[in-house]
Chains A and B, each alone.
Chain A
């Protein structure tokens, strides 16, 4: 049975449609991430699940039971807020046990629950402090502790890490993942950070303008995006989009990329990745999507045994990140980013031979921006 089911939910604020026919379902123990740019409706959807905002139409079910018109308290969910929302006048202990107290859990059980989550999150030494005496990371832990104490049906996380500094954010991300693996809880997590989405999720819903564009595993969303928006949103640095003309025919499709002041570049499309949709686009402009890691340096020792199609280009910018090096090079009408190994000794202004891995490239319709192949 689905732990959470959302059917055709719409939400209208005045004249603005914030959620448009949103449907999704997750199983018990799944980690769902709602991701998208600000204003895409992900926080509204989360508030609708929490019961903090009513929906205009549609239905929300938790553990099979319809909760669309239930109050937040009746839904048996817990939420971790972006600002943590710790009760300022209460100690950490009172913060964690408040929800249990409201649900009339006996004192002894409340104390046991506080001990349990304090152990789990290593905040036992902070229990008698007020939130104002805690650091950002500690407040974050307390906010999670408050949610964990109640053992609700679903946990909601609303951008819980965005107020932490970069290093702490990565640590807490790992910790949340560990907690999820250990406790097997059902989590809905909102973020605008696509790395958080990729690393944490079992299932990602990419949202834009109140719609779910794609719902899938991190692997599907990353490698098999449904349109240009999803492809560009997931991944950092983001996917390169190159305008090309589709030529040839079934079994022999080619992409011709016009490059100013140089000969046109022609990239063959692998036959195994052909789709019926491509036939209608022959002779027309299409958009080729290549992730930076799909453009790599040529290994001189391998020679012809290098995979992919060979191109050479004058490198305009070299950006070492430590783990690898990002290169900017002109390709087609604009510049693209390539990701090469940290040992690549290229300088800005030099020409470099690169290999394009067309086996993982994607193709989009230039008008509808939908995926072609």
Chain B
């Protein structure tokens, strides 16, 4: 298993067993919060206050999920997080698509159509990966105001696209650098132009890195709270902001089961994306390193 040839003594077996035990414990420890959330979200409120956190629900119910989706109060309104969930989708889908497309074109131009200063330009773009979000809040608000996009979905999409380009460019640039430039030369001689070469030659071999870019951007934008809370109006808020409002609305009894259900709803899409495409994510990150 570990590629070392050695005699399997009793001591070695015991050591291995202990190793697995420790790893299993660590895995359980990390899964615990998720388990608590799931369990709590399907318990009636009556079971939560007296019971311990980990006890299984005696009368499992989906009512907290329904309430979180459609009725729970987020601030002044009591319409649940469902509407905001779709807000998030309406922001995330175009932002992911646009930033991925631009990143792919950038990476292609920076590797296959080099120009004077293209390396410098790439280095400067990389700075974008390290700029803290807080720094740009005020200038960005100003800019959105000038563009007439304040508090709109389009404004949030623009913000996420601008921030995402640094990462998507990095992904695609590093992927395309490993694609032989002779392919592009051959296509040029065959008579294909800039976009044709991109579309017919490079894009068909880019699936792994497209998946990486989509997962990364989806997770980042879906989970974003700061831009969401800063640049949205009430009816354009993403689900993360709604979740915060729901949890912080302090009227009556605190409904932990509804809070947990809402949190699960807000977290599920990113989990789902990773479960569906996770193996491509790992493959894409290591692509190029083993390419023959």
- Which residues does A use to contact B, with CB under 8 Å? 50-52, 71-73, 77-79, 81-83, 85, 87-90, 98-99, 102-103, 146, 150
Q: In the complex, are the beta carbons of A79 and B204 less than 8 A apart? A: no
Contact partners of A73 in chain B: CB under 8 A: 188-193
Residue of B183, B185, B201 touching A52 (CB-CB under 8 A): B185
- Check B189–A72 contact: CB distance below 8 A: yes
B interface residues, Cβ below 8 angstroms from A? 180, 182-183, 185-193, 196, 200-201, 204-205
- A87 with B187: CB separation less than 8 A: yes
Bound Cα distance from A103 to B187, whole angstroms: 12
Given known A-B contacts A52-B185, A81-B185, A85-B183, A102 and B190 have beta carbons under 8 A apart: yes
Contacts of A72 in B (CB 8 A): 185, 188-189
Given contacts A52-B189, A77-B189, A88-B183, list 8 more A-B pairs with CB under 8 A: A73-B192, A82-B182, A83-B182, A88-B205, A90-B204, A99-B190, A103-B191, A150-B190
Find out whether the CB atom of A71 lies under 8 angstroms from the CB atom of B182. no
Q: List 21 A-B contacts (CB under 8 A).
A: A51-B188, A52-B189, A71-B188, A72-B189, A73-B189, A73-B191, A77-B189, A78-B189, A79-B186, A81-B185, A82-B182, A83-B180, A83-B182, A85-B180, A87-B187, A88-B204, A89-B201, A89-B204, A98-B200, A99-B189, A102-B190
Give the CA-CA distance A170 to B290 in the complex, in Å: 31
Instruction: Pick the contact of B185: A85, A89, A90, A98 (CB < 8 A).
Output: A85
Q: How far is the CB of B288 from chain A (nearest CB, A)?
A: 13
Nearest 9 A/B pairs, CB to CB = A89-B204, A102-B191, A99-B190, A85-B182, A73-B191, A85-B186, A72-B188, A81-B182, A72-B189
Contact A50 B205 (CB under 8 A): no
How far does the alpha carbon of A90 sit from the alpha carbon of B186 in the complex, in Å? 14
Q: A50: which of B183, B189, B193, B196 is its contact (CB, 8 Å)?
A: B189
Closest CB in chain B relative to A53 CB, distance in Å? 10
A83–B183 alpha-carbon span in the complex (Å): 9
Assess the A79–B201 pair: CB atoms within 8 A.
no
Q: Nearest-CB distance from A314 to chain B (Å)?
A: 51
> Chain A nearest CB: distance from B80 CB in Å?
46
Q: Which residues of B contact A51 (CB under 8 A)?
A: 188
Residues of B contacting A82 in the complex (Cβ-Cβ under 8 angstroms) = 182
B191-A99 in contact (CB<8A)? yes
Q: Kindly list chain B residues whose C-beta atoms are within 8 Å of the C-beta of A88.
A: 183, 204-205
**Beta-carbon nearest neighbor of B292 in chain A:** A132
Output the least CB separation between B77 and chain A (Å): 50
- A300 CB → nearest B CB, Å: 57
Distance from A86 Cβ to chain B, minimum over Cβ atoms (Å): 8
**For residue A73, which residue of chain B has the nearest CB?**
B191
Contact B201 A81 (CB under 8 A): no
Known: A52-B188, A102-B190. A87 touches B183 (CB 8 A): yes
Which residues of B lie under 8 Å from residue A89 when comparing CB positions?
201, 204-205
- Min CB distance A37 to B, Å, is 21
Known A73-B191, A102-B196; judge A81-B186 contact (CB<8 A).
Answer: yes
Chain A, residue nearest B180 (CB): A83
Residues on B with C-beta less than 8 A from A50 are 185, 189
Complex: A268 Cα to B183 Cα, angstroms: 58
Residue of B nearest to A53 (CB): B185
Which partner residue on chain A sits nearest B203 by CB separation?
A89
Query: Which of B186, B187, B192, B193 has the most chain A CB within a 10 Å cutoff?
Result: B186
Chain B residues in 8 Å Cβ range of A78: 189
CB distance from B207 to the nearest CB of A (A): 10
Which residues of A are found within 8 Å of B189, using beta-carbon distances? 50, 52, 72-73, 77-79, 99
Q: Is the CB of A87 within 8 A of B182?
A: no
With both beta carbons as reference points, the residue of chain B lying nearest to A156 in the complex is identified as B189
- In the bound assembly, the distance between CA atoms of A184 and B171 in angstroms comes to 47
Nearest-CB distance from B50 to chain A (Å)? 62
Q: Which residue of A lies closest to B185 (CB)?
A: A52
Question: Cα distance A103–B204 when bound, in Å?
Answer: 21
Residues of A within 8 A of B192 (CB): 73, 98, 102
Shortest A231–chain B CB gap in Å is 34
Chain A contacts of B204 at CB under 8 A? 88-90
Minimal beta-carbon separation of B120 from chain A (angstroms): 16
Q: Nearest-CB distance from A148 to chain B (Å)?
A: 13
